[in-house]
């Protein structure tokens, strides 16, 4: 079997497994909140309601762009699919990654064991969690694998091409997910290990500039785009901070000081154990006496990067006084399962290497499911229930899904759907909505007068609403006071819908 044919067969088989995993979760009532968010964006752009401004300035741009560019044609090619297009796109990226692992293991002389080891990594619960949590989560795992592979290769070979690979992977990681940006910041102190010693001795500043140049170039480019379209060159920096803040701030607040210290420390401890369950192969390899001289330092540095990123999230959670943050911290620990694949590739040759690594990965799968039992709150707990065959209730999406179902069949509805794509995912279409880019929406923002038959507005004190919803920003009293000539017809889960009184009621 040729390498290309083997790659294709492995990718197709992996894609079937990941699609089956998504179908299993959906059959038990779960469509992950990030998938709903991605699905809403696909519906928005496939319905011709997307704007060029949002397309060029949305953060993270890589996940957003790939979701739209691949999700729209996937939706057109599979209109009868029971799974949202972003779930299929994420499964595709996951399948390609598994096929890449198989090829890398075969190049490392694992022989027939390569496909077994790739399959074990694919069946790790943390990998399945990422593959069923939207395009961004899957791309973050891909980015971490790319970054870790390039980092180890550059340290081992000292080639400039591998160093440039580190530079490109760093830029990709920063702009594929907000947590990826956090990982990049955590990685900055450890970048010197990826620079060949000869280059570092000649000019440390220029060597580090080479590594950071793609990242700096992308940051400056994105800054220019934001200045051009958003009238604020630092708008995307605010988006990163808000995304990370939302990740750690979704739980109940328990206050600062000692009251918030224990949950933060407990969550950090659980996240460290989760990290160990995600990549025991990397930890074993770091401690392996035969590889101490060649791979111990880069793998120790990569483990340190993960710990620094987790500690940063724990500190943010502590400062915000968030309770039940263990699931939040595991969210950043789980993608580091990618380091296990890098460790497998670097494992020293041995007659029993294949079965030894397989045993380590089997232990990792068991440890992963064991640590998943600590997911007791939020989206991760719902994922665990659905994965173990328990039917879960509707997503805790702030009422967006209920609103979407209510608006199905209604037209001339003024709503900032760009800020609430989950509403579109539940409604099933952007047709009949008045959104950003539509002339009535822009006129309403300019004249502060609404003429649409229906207007849907969220509770203004919801954190995402304050930052994203232009309708709420322009009409801050709309939720509480309504509008002259409009009557309240829907009031559920933090959403209200008003209908113009002179319009014929359809209720």
How confident is the model at residue 488, as a pLDDT?
94
DSSP letter at 502 equals: T
Residue 254 above 50 pLDDT?
A: no
Say whether pLDDT at 393 is over 80.
no
Residue 148, pLDDT score: 92
Going across the sheet that includes 413-414, the strands are 433-434, 413-414, 454-458, 495-500, 486-492
Banded pLDDT at 26 (limits 50, 70, 90): very high
Range in 136-145, 267-276, 314-323, 358-367 with the lowest mean pLDDT: 314-323
285 compared with 483, residue with greater pLDDT = 483
Least confident segment among 33-47, 55-69, 277-291, 434-448: 277-291
As a whole number of angstroms, the distance between CA 480 and CA 498 comes to 11
Cα separation, 398 vs 456, in Å, equals 14
- What pLDDT, on the 0 to 100 scale, is given for residue 489? 94
Q: CA 373, 84, 427 angle in degrees (round to 5)?
A: 105
Is residue 289 over pLDDT 80?
no
Query: What SS3 class is residue 488?
Result: strand
Strands 433-434 vs 454-458: parallel, antiparallel or unpaired: unpaired
Axis crossing angle, helix 378-387 with helix 326-333, rounded to the nearest 10: 70
Evaluate whether 399 touches 493 at the Cβ level (below 8 Å): yes
> How confident is the model at residue 250, as a pLDDT?
46
pLDDT per position as a tens digit, 421-479:
889 988 988 999 999 889 999 999 999 999 999 999 998 876 554 567 889 888 988 99
11 pLDDT exceeds 70? yes
User: Does residue 49 have a pLDDT over 60?
Assistant: yes
State residue 452's pLDDT score: 93
Instruction: State the pLDDT confidence band at 123, using cuts at 50, 70 and 90.
Output: very high
What is the model's pLDDT at position 294? 62
Task: Pick the more confident residue, 505 or 175.
Answer: 175
The pLDDT value given to residue 386: 93
pLDDT band at 413 (very low <50, low <70, confident <90, very high): very high
Check whether 487 has a pLDDT greater than 90: yes
What's the mean pLDDT in 402-416?
92
Q: Kindly tell me if the per-residue pLDDT of 243 is higher than 50.
A: yes
Evaluate if residue 226 carries a pLDDT over 50: yes
- Lowest-confidence pick of 115-119, 395-399, 478-482: 395-399
Backbone phi, psi, residue 28, to 5°: -105, 25
φ, ψ for residue 268 (rounded to 5)? -65, -40
Is the pLDDT at 329 greater than 70? The verdict is no
- CA nearest to 254, candidates 264, 244, 246, 245: 264
Q: Mean pLDDT check: name the lowest of 32-36, 269-273, 449-453.
A: 269-273
Summarize pLDDT for 186-225 with one digit per residue, the tens: 999 898 888 878 788 888 888 888 899 999 999 998 888 8
How deeply is 501 buried, as exposed, middle or buried, from its count of CB atoms within 10 A (0-12, 13-18, 19+)? exposed
By C-alpha distance, which of 210, 226, 507 is closest to 499? 507
Per-residue pLDDT band at 288 (split at 50, 70, 90): low
Average pLDDT, the chain: 83
Is 48 a residue whose pLDDT tops 70?
Answer: yes
Report how far apart, in Å, the C-alpha atoms of 321 and of each of 259, 462, 470, 495 are.
Answer: 8, 17, 29, 27
CB burial of residue 451 (10 Å; 0-12, 13-18, 19+): middle
pLDDT tens-digit series, residues 78-121: 765 678 999 999 999 999 999 999 999 999 999 899 999 999 99
């Amino acid at each position: 079997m040729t390498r290309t044919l083997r790659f294709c067969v492995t990718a197709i088989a992996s894609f079937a497994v990941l699609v089956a995993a998504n179908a299993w979760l959906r059959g038990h009532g779960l469509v992950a909140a990030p998938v709903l968010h991605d699905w809403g964006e696909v519906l928005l752009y496939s319905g011709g309601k997307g704007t060029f401004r949002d397309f060029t300035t949305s953060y993270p741009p890589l996940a957003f762009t790939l979701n739209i560019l691949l999700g729209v044609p996937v939706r057109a090619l599979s209109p009868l699919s029971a799974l949202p297009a972003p779930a299929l796109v994420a499964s595709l990226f996951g399948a390609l990654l598994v096929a890449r692992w198989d090829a890398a293991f075969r190049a490392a002389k694992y022989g027939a064991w390569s496909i077994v080891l790739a399959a074990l990594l694919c069946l790790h619960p943390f990998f399945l969690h990422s593959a069923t949590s939207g395009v961004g989560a899957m791309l973050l795992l891909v980015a971490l694998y790319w970054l870790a592979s390039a980092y180890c290769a550059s340290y081992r070979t000292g080639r400039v091409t591998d160093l440039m690979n580190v530079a490109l992977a760093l830029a990709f990681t920063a702009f594929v997910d907000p947590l990826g940006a956090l990982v990049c910041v955590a990685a900055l102190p450890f970048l010197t290990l990826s620079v060949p010693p000869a280059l570092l001795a000649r000019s440390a500043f220029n060597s580090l500039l080479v590594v950071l140049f793609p990242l700096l170039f992308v940051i400056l480019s994105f800054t220019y785009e934001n200045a051009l379209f958003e009238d604020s060159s630092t708008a995307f920096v605010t988006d990163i901070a808000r995304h990370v803040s939302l990740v750690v701030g979704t739980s109940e607040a328990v206050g600062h000081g000692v009251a918030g210290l224990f949950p933060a420390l407990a969550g950090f401890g659980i996240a460290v154990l989760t990290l160990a369950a995600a990549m025991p192969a990397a930890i074993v390899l770091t401690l392996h006496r035969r590889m101490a001289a060649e791979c111990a330092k880069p793998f120790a540095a990569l483990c340190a990067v993960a710990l620094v990123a987790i500690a940063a999230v724990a500190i943010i959670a502590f400062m915000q006084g968030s309770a039940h943050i263990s699931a939040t911290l595991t969210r950043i620990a789980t993608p580091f399962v990618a380091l296990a694949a890098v460790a497998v590739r670097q494992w020293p040759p041995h007659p029993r290497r294949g079965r030894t690594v397989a045993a380590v990965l089997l232990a990792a799968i068991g440890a992963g499911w064991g640590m998943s039992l600590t997911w007791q709150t939020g989206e991760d707990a719902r994922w665990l229930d659905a994965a173990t065959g328990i039917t879960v209730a509707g997503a805790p999406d702030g009422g967006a899904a209920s609103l979407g179902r209510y608006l199905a069949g209604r037209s001339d509805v003024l709503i900032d759907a760009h800020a609430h794509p989950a509403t579109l995912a539940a409604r099933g279409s952007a047709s009949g909505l008045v959104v950003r880019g539509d002339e009535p929406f822009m006129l309403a923002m300019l004249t502060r007068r609404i003429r649409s038959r229906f207007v849907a507005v969220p509770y203004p004190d919801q954190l995402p609403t304050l930052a994203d919803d232009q309708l709420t920003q322009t009409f801050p009293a709309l939720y509480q006071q309504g509008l002259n000539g409009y009557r309240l017809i829907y009031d559920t889960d933090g959403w209200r819908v008003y209908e113009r009184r002179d319009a014929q009621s359809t209720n």
